[in-house]
C-alpha cells in the first residue's frame, strides 16, 4: 500500500501495462520528453525509450488514425488527446472509424486501443479547455467509455482498458490529478463495466462520476448528519459497458434516484440512466428521478463563476433534501 496521486497513477498504470506487453505503445503531444502537459506521463520515455513513447506533431487526427492503424495490425496503442475538448478536432476517429470498422467488416477488423484524455472543469481554463465530454463518446455505438475517480481506479481501469480488445476512451479528470489515494502494491487490474457502491444507503441512490464522486460522498455524509437522509452513493466508473444491474439494484432498494454529472444539461449520461430507470424501474420509484448537472451553457473562465456552475456538495444536499421532503 502506498499513497499516490491520481496524476502519478496514470504513469504507473501505463508503465504497468508497457512492462507487461511490448505491443503496448504510447503516443501524443509532448508526452514523451516533456512528460505530458499535466505531468501525468513523467518517466515513461526514460523507462521505455523513444520507440515506445513518442512525441507527435499537433495533429490529433494523425494521432488517433495512427493509433487505429497500429491497433488493427497488432499493437495496443495508448494515445493521448491532451484536453478532451480537442476530441472535436479528431472526432471522425471516435465517431466513425474506431467503433464501426469491426462491424462493417463483419468481424474481420480489430481495434484494441485506448484514448486517454484530460477531461473536466475546475482549472479556470475557460470554455474550450474545461468541458466534460464523456457523453460525446457514450452516444457512439461501438466504443467503451471509462472515467475513474480515484488513483486506484486509474490504474485498475487503465489496465483493463489496455487489455480490452475494443476501443476504450479513458477520461481522466484534470481536477483530480493532484488528489491522493491509497493504492495496493503490485499489479492492479480492474474490470470494465462495473459500478461501485462507495457508500451503502437506504433512502436514495446518488450516481456520480469522476470529480462528482467525492462531492456526492461529501453530500451523503452531510445529508445523513444534517437531515437524517441515508443516501447510497454509486461511482458509475464505466459508462459503456454500463453496469445497469448495480444501478437498477440500488434504485430497487432506495426507490429514489439522483444523478450528479458535470456534463452540460442536455443528453448527458444522466439522461440515459434516468431514462433506463424510468422505463425499467418505473414502479420502483417513489418520486421523480432528478438530474443534477452543469447548466446548459459554455463554461466561464473566472474561478467563482466556474465554481458556481458545476454541481457542488451543497447543491446535491439541497436538491436531495428538497426532493425527498416534497
Ligand X SMILES: Cc1ncc(C[n+]2csc(CCOP(=O)(O)OP(=O)(O)O)c2C)c(N)n1
Binding site for ligand X (CB under 6 A): 29, 58, 60, 82, 86, 89
Q: Which of 180, 196, 227, 265 binds a second copy (CB under 8 A)?
A: 265
Contact pattern from residue 99 through residue 118 relative to another protein, giving x for each residue in contact according to CB under 8 A and a dash for the rest? --xxxxxxxxxx-x------
Catalytic residue among 129, 173, 227, 255: 129
Query: Of 96 and 191, which has the nearer Cβ to ligand X?
Result: 96
Instruction: Report the 10 Å Cβ neighbour count for 24.
Output: 22
**Beta strand pairing call for 2-5 and 180-183:** antiparallel
Q: Which of 80, 85, 232, 235 binds another protein (CB under 8 A)?
A: 85
Distance between CA atoms of 100 and 205, rounded to whole angstroms?
35
Q: How far is the CB of 242 from a second copy (least distance, A)?
A: 8
| Cell numbers 502494491: residue | 185
Contact pattern from residue 79 through residue 108 relative to a second copy, giving x for each residue in contact according to CB under 8 A and a dash for the rest? ------x--xx-xx-xxx--xx--xx----
Q: Which of 1, 73, 228, 279 binds another protein (CB under 8 A)?
A: 73
3-state SS class at 49: coil
Closest C-alpha among 170, 144, 142 to residue 156: 170
Residues near another protein (CB under 8 A), total: 83
- Show Cβ contacts of residue 275 under 8 Å, excluding neighbours closer than 6 positions: none
Query: Of 85 and 190, which has the nearer Cβ to ligand X?
Result: 85
Element of type H or E holding 210: none
**Beta strand pairing call for 114-119 and 168-173:** parallel
241-270 positions binding another protein, by CB under 8 A: 241-245, 265-266
Distance between CA atoms of 219 and 140, rounded to whole angstroms?
32
Q: How far is the CB of 214 from a second copy (least distance, A)?
A: 24
**Is residue 82 a contact partner of residue 119, using CB atoms and an 8 Å limit?**
no
Active site residue 129: yes
3-state SS class at 76: strand
Q: What cell was used for 94?
A: 471516435
Residues that bind a second copy (CB under 8 A): 85, 88-89, 91-92, 94-96, 99-100, 103-104, 126-128, 135-136, 138-142, 240, 263-272, 274-275, 278-280, 282-283, 285, 287-291, 296-298, 300-301
Catalytic center residues: 129
Amino acid at each position: 500500500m502506498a499513497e499516490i496521486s491520481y496524476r502519478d497513477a496514470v504513469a504507473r498504470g501505463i508503465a504497468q501495462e508497457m512492462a507487461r506487453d511490448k505491443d503496448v505503445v504510447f503516443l501524443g503531444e509532448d508526452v514523451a520528453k516533456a512528460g505530458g502537459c499535466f505531468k501525468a506521463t513523467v518517466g515513461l520515455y526514460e523507462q521505455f525509450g523513444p520507440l515506445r513513447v513518442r512525441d507527435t506533431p499537433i495533429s490529433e487526427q494523425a494521432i488517433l488514425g495512427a493509433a487505429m492503424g497500429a491497433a488493427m495490425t497488432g499493437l495496443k496503442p495508448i494515445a493521448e488527446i491532451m484536453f478532451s475538448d480537442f476530441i472535436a478536432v479528431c472526432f471522425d476517429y471516435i465517431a466513425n472509424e474506431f467503433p464501426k470498422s469491426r462491424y462493417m467488416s463483419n468481424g474481420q477488423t480489430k481495434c484494441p486501443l485506448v484514448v486517454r484524455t484530460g477531461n473536466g472543469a475546475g482549472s479556470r481554463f475557460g470554455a474550450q479547455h474545461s468541458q466534460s465530454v464523456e457523453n460525446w463518446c457514450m452516444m457512439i455505438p461501438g466504443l467503451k467509455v471509462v472515467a475513474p475517480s480515484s488513483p486506484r481506479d486509474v490504474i485498475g481501469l487503465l489496465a483493463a482498458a489496455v487489455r480490452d480488445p475494443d476501443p476504450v476512451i479513458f477520461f481522466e479528470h484534470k481536477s483530480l490529478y493532484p488528489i491522493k489515494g491509497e493504492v495496493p502494491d503490485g499489479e492492479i487490474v480492474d474490470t470494465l463495466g462495473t459500478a461501485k457502491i462507495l457508500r451503502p444507503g437506504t433512502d436514495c441512490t446518488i450516481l456520480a462520476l469522476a470529480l462528482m464522486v467525492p462531492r456526492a460522498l461529501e453530500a451523503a455524509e452531510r445529508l445523513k448528519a444534517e437531515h437524517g437522509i441515508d443516501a447510497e452513493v454509486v461511482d458509475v466508473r464505466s459508462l459503456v459497458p454500463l453496469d445497469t444491474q448495480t444501478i437498477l439494484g440500488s434504485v430497487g432498494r432506495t426507490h429514489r434516484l439522483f444523478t450528479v454529472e458535470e456534463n452540460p444539461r442536455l443528453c448527458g449520461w444522466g439522461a440515459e440512466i434516468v431514462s433506463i430507470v424510468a422505463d425499467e424501474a418505473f414502479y420502483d420509484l417513489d418520486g421523480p428521478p432528478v438530474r443534477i448537472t452543469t447548466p446548459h451553457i459554455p463554461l466561464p473562465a473566472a474561478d467563482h463563476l466556474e465554481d458556481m456552475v458545476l454541481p457542488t456538495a451543497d447543491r446535491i444536499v439541497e436538491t436531495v433534501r428538497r426532493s425527498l421532503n416534497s
